[in-house]
């Protein structure tokens, strides 16, 4: 197993599918060469798992899900259909893996079924264009909690397919540091001279989507290290418009890590009166502090950190803040390309997240001044995490109302996922405390 990266992928995929491991754990792999292979394979297999699982249905009666062979087939199917590897390469790899895991007398059996999958490869790839029809028709995912939630919440078949089978990102959205770049048009010219192709986003001159980022890693890395740019999806960047920071504001960020939204506030309004970032993980606080230094944000004695659970702040913070930001923990169903293992979250995890979200909302009211605002957001497309939470908190607290509504039933605004522009699905709500 020591030198076989595919075998390592097999065990990682098995843990992810059984909800015992997350893709973020892959970043702990120390060997750079192994890391790149394992990260790319595991992320892409999970991203395309809906289709891969459909293919494996051909042989489902012969391979049990809890059998290591099931996960071996997952890897091989991905290499076959998405990497277009030749038969002899795959078969050689299968032999090596079976020898390492000491499973005998199955090689011929696996090859038999893989030959079937090779034979019907073109047909399968055509089916992929209408995979949602086959999912619903055959009810493959009757036991998958999150996929069933998505299908119930989203009625449009194309939108469901975009969520479950996200395409490769065409654009990398970046935030340009206002504190460093004073003349945005000169910066545009600089990027053009470096042959960096990008699109602008209306109303967001300091936000651009770069299309040829794979070929410009060196210059983009330089700009990032020097605090000139940060990577942040455009849906997340919209938070700055909704919170609308002013110089006399006191702001509380209840779920601050990784810090993008608070850092955006400080870039936009560096002399803000006070911003308090709450994070229970000390390591994540240190990461935010490093980013403050990277972005060259001046310390004006207006940035404070609390290493604690934001649901249990001291009473001295009651009725203190003008604006409170809750970037709530959620299922991440609005950015499945980035977090494809979200589809394996079970009911227990889902119920835990729903409870956490409501507790954050409930406690935020205590910390808010009269006339202040709560900005609640998720990167989820599920109503249970979005409008239902706002509806419930308003029903139970007569001193707050929602003021950011698409209509009387939404209790907020939705940003629809767009795979072509790499725009993630988000939900924003803005609540005012009346008394």
Answer yes or no: do 95 and 241 share one domain.
Answer: no
Closest CA to 303 of 256, 373, 366, 363: 256
CATH number for 190: 3.30.70.1170
Between CA 428 and CA 239 the distance in angstroms is: 8
Q: Give residue 424's pLDDT.
A: 94
- Give the model confidence (pLDDT) of 4-49 as tens digits: 888 899 999 999 988 888 998 888 877 777 888 999 999 999 998 8
Mean pLDDT across the stretch 81-102?
Answer: 86
DSSP for 198-249, please give it: EEEETTEEEEEEES-GGG-HHHHHHHHHTTSEEE--HHHHTHHHHH---TT-
Among 126-140, 228-242, 308-322, 367-381, the range scoring the smallest mean pLDDT is 126-140
Instruction: Pick the last residue of a domain from 203, 234, 265.
Output: 234
Out of 94-98, 262-266, 299-303, the most confident range is 262-266
Answer yes or no: do 248 and 384 share one domain.
Answer: yes
Q: Give residue 412's pLDDT.
A: 94
Q: Give residue 407's pLDDT.
A: 74
Q: Predicted confidence band at 100 (pLDDT cuts at 50, 70, 90)? A: confident
- Is 330 inside any structural domain? yes
- Is 149 inside any structural domain? no
Give, as one character, the DSSP assignment of residue 169.
P
Q: Give residue 135's pLDDT.
A: 67
For residue 115, give both structure tokens.
Answer: 């030959």
Between CA 213 and CA 173 the distance in angstroms is: 10
- Is 26 inside any structural domain? yes
Residues tagged in the binding site annotation: 255-261, 279, 327
Which residues, listed in sequence order, are joined to residue 327 by a DSSP beta bridge?
A: 377
Instruction: Tell me which of 357 and 201 has the higher pLDDT.
Output: 357
Q: Predicted confidence band at 86 (pLDDT cuts at 50, 70, 90)? A: confident
Statement: residue 61 has pLDDT above 60: no
Q: Give residue 116's pLDDT.
A: 80
Domain that holds residue 208: 172-234
Whole-number average pLDDT of the chain: 89
Residues tagged in the binding site annotation for S-adenosyl-L-methionine: 255-261, 279, 327
Answer yes or no: do 380 and 357 share one domain.
Answer: yes
Out of 55-64, 88-97, 120-129, the most confident range is 88-97
Statement: residue 328 has pLDDT above 90: yes
Percent share of the chain, pLDDT over 70: 93
Among 95-99, 312-316, 355-359, the range scoring the smallest mean pLDDT is 95-99
Q: Is the entire prediction scored with pTM above 0.75?
A: yes
Instruction: Tell me which of 102 and 139 has the higher pLDDT.
Output: 102
Answer yes or no: do 91 and 51 share one domain.
Answer: yes
Q: Give residue 1's pLDDT.
A: 46
Answer yes or no: do 182 and 293 share one domain.
Answer: no
Angle at which helices 68-81 and 49-56 cross, to 10° = 110
Check if 379 is active-site.
Answer: yes
Scanning 142-216, the segments in alpha helix (DSSP H) are 145-153, 157-164, 184-193
Helix (H) or strand (E) holding 375: strand 368-378
Statement: residue 62 has pLDDT above 60: no
Q: Give residue 73's pLDDT.
A: 84
Statement: residue 77 has pLDDT above 70: yes
Q: Which residues of 44-78 are buried (b: 16+ CB within 10 A; e: fewer)?
A: bbbbbbbbbbbbbeebeeebeeeebbbbbbbbbbb
CATH number for 18: 1.10.940.10
Q: Give residue 54's pLDDT.
A: 78
Answer yes or no: do 263 and 347 share one domain.
Answer: yes
For the chain, the domain total comes to: 3
> Is the Cβ–Cβ distance between 409 and 360 less than 8 Å?
no
Answer yes or no: do 267 and 355 share one domain.
Answer: yes
Answer yes or no: do 204 and 312 share one domain.
Answer: no
Among 118-127, 216-225, 336-345, 389-398, the range scoring the smallest mean pLDDT is 118-127
CATH number for 358: 3.40.50.150
Between CA 203 and CA 126 the distance in angstroms is: 40
Mean pLDDT across the stretch 202-218?
Answer: 90
- Is 178 inside any structural domain? yes
């Amino acid at each position: 197993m020591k030198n076989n990266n595919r075998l390592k992928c097999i065990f990682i995929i098995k843990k992810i599918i059984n909800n015992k491991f997350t893709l973020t754990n892959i970043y702990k792999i120390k060997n750079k060469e192994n890391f790149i292979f394992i990260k790319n394979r595991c992320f892409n297999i999970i991203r395309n798992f809906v289709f891969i699982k459909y293919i494996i249905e051909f042989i489902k009666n012969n391979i049990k899900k809890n059998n290591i062979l099931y996960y071996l087939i997952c890897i091989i199917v991905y290499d076959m259909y998405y990497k277009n590897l030749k038969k002899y390469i795959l078969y050689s790899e299968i032999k090596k893996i079976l020898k390492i895991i000491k499973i005998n007398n199955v090689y011929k059996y696996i090859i038999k079924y893989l030959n079937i999958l090779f034979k019907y490869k073109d047909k399968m790839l055509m089916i992929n264009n209408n995979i949602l029809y086959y999912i619903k028709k055959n009810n493959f995912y009757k036991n998958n909690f999150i996929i069933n939630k998505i299908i119930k919440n989203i009625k449009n078949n194309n939108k469901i397919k975009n969520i479950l089978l996200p395409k490769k990102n065409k654009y990398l959205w970046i935030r340009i540091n206002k504190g460093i770049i004073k003349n945005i048009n000169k910066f545009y010219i600089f990027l053009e001279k470096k042959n960096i192709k990008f699109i602008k986003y209306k109303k967001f001159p300091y936000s651009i989507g770069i299309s040829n980022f794979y070929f410009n890693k060196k210059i983009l890395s330089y700009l990032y290290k020097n605090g000139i740019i940060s990577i942040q999806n455009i849906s997340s960047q919209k938070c700055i418009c909704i919170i609308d920071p002013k110089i006399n504001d006191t702001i509380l960020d209840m779920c601050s890590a990784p810090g993008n939204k608070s850092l955006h506030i400080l870039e936009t309004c560096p002399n803000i009166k006070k911003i308090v970032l709450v994070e229970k993980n000390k390591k994540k606080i240190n990461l935010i502090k490093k980013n403050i230094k990277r972005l060259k944000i001046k310390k004006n004695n207006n940035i404070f950190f609390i290493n604690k659970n934001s649901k249990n702040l001291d009473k001295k913070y009651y009725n203190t803040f003008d604006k409170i930001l809750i970037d709530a923990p959620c299922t991440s169903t609005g950015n499945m390309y980035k977090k494809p293992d979200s589809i394996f979250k079970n009911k227990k995890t889902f119920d835990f997240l729903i409870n956490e979200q409501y507790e954050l909302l409930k406690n935020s009211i205590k910390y808010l001044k009269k006339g202040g605002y709560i900005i609640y957001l998720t990167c989820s497309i599920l109503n249970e995490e979005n409008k239902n939470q706002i509806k419930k908190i308003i029903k139970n607290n007569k001193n707050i109302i929602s003021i950011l509504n698409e209509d009387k039933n939404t209790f907020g605004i939705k940003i629809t996922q767009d795979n072509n522009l790499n725009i993630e699905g988000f939900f924003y709500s803005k609540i005012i405390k009346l008394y």
